[in-house]
Amino acid sequence: MSTLVMGILNVTPDSFSDGGRWDTVDAAIARGLELRDQGASIVDVGGESTRPGAARIEPAEEQERVVPVIRALAAEGVTLSIDTMHASTARAAVEAGAAIVNDVSGGLADPDMAKTAADLACDFIAMHWRAHSAEMDKADRYEDVVAEVGRELEARVDALVGAGVASDRIVLDPGLGFAKVTDSNWPLIARWREWAGDHRVLIGASRKRFLGAAIASGGGDGADPSNREAATTAVTTVCALEGVWAVRVHDAAASRDAISVVSRLTTAGYKAR
């Protein structure tokens, strides 16, 4: 199966690259439909920014932002995930029509999340996470990032399965940019099979800081997140060649097109070496 595109819809005033752009219900709904039309198989709706240094918000405020958007987009037949660390928001979102829970803390931030995910019986994206946004850059300390992320994700899987989540419902995500400032990110993409086990994998590289650093090392200007789109699409291309389940991106059309190119190449006999 081809790699899926998950389009990012941040209904927040302060996300790092698109904060404030879709923070009214009508603008968010229109953007969700646009992402679907541009090739997103899943639209990931989030109401709490996780950018480095971001402050937390209360679940009630988060739900006020996301639930009307999810309800409207679900009525239009859009497949939705809810990007939340709050169990009560996960439940409200699934009741409003979301099909997938995407928890950047992999169930660590809210002690009720694992049981809630089991009750909801939907797909659950468990991302590698070490600390909340205000603290996460300091947690970028690894001897062997691939082995440690693998072990820490396995512990999340054990906790989730222990709470009753079906193992094949769990999608793993290395959490690029989360407790990984620059160099820690690359081995997690390059050697993803070593930490993924048998789980489906989601990669979220879109416009993140480590891409800016790579762009600069090649002589480009990656300081502004909006200049990181070609680099994001390069990561999507690699993910598609590698058989990664899905990529989480801001520009759905660019990733859709990259995946279409890879599909032509693999049909013509290309094999990753």
Query: According to CB under 6 A, which residues from 43 to 72 bind ligand PMM?
Result: 46, 50-51
- Closest separation between CB of residue 6 and ligand PMM, Å? 8
Which residues touch 270 (CB under 8 Å, ≥6 apart)?
241, 262
Taking each helix axis as running N to C, give the angle between helix 145-162 and helix 113-120, from 0 to 180 degrees, rounded to the nearest 10.
Answer: 60
**Contact call for residue 16 and ligand PMM (CB under 6 A):** yes
DSSP-assigned beta bridge partners for residue 173: 127
* The two structure tokens encoding residue 44: 């990931």
Nearer to ligand PMM, 213 or 269 (CB): 213
Query: According to CB under 6 A, which residues from 109 to 168 bind ligand PMM?
Result: 125, 127
Count Cβ atoms below 10 Å from residue 273 Cβ, excluding itself: 3
φ/ψ (deg, to 5) at 93: -70, -40
Rounded Cα gap, residues 101 and 120, in angstroms:
9
**How far from 76 is each of 9, 36, 42, 129, CA to CA, in Å?**
16, 10, 13, 33
Binding mask 203-242 toward ligand PMM (x if CB under 6 A, else -) reads -x--------------------------------------
- Closest separation between CB of residue 22 and ligand PMM, Å? 11
**Contact call for residue 21 and ligand PMM (CB under 6 A):** no
* The two structure tokens encoding residue 102: 């995407």
**Contact call for residue 251 and ligand PMM (CB under 6 A):** no
- Closest separation between CB of residue 270 and ligand PMM, Å? 27
Question: Residue with CB nearest ligand PMM?
Answer: 204
Footprint of ligand PMM (CB under 6 A): 8, 10, 15-17, 46, 50-51, 83, 102, 104, 125, 127, 173, 175-176, 202, 204, 248
